[in-house]
Amino acid sequence: MVLTMGQEALVMLLMVASPVLVVVLVVGLVVSLFQAVTQINEATLAFVPKLIAALAVLAIAGPWMLNMLVEYIRRTIEAIPSAVV
């Protein structure tokens, strides 16, 4: 049962973190291509768009992410009595 709960926790972690990670990865790739094409090597040019994209994804997908985490915690807490027996 512990292994199942650990597996569910890892799957939940991947589901909740993936939207932000994918968007930041794509934005980073686009900014890197832009920097390579224009030969501009500015650190803030890489950081600021990623930050804005991450905040936008958190604003859009945040309620879904929070709902997923609350449901997982609710199921985990409800499973405690059956795990003790």
Residue-wise DSSP of 61-78: HHHHHHHHHHHHHHHHHH
Q: What average pLDDT does range 34-60 have in this prediction?
A: 91
What average pLDDT does the structure give for the chain? Answer: 92
pTM comes to: 0.80
Burial of 11 (0-12, 13-18, 19+ CB in 10 A): exposed
pLDDT above 80: residue 70: yes
Percent with pLDDT over 70 in the chain = 100
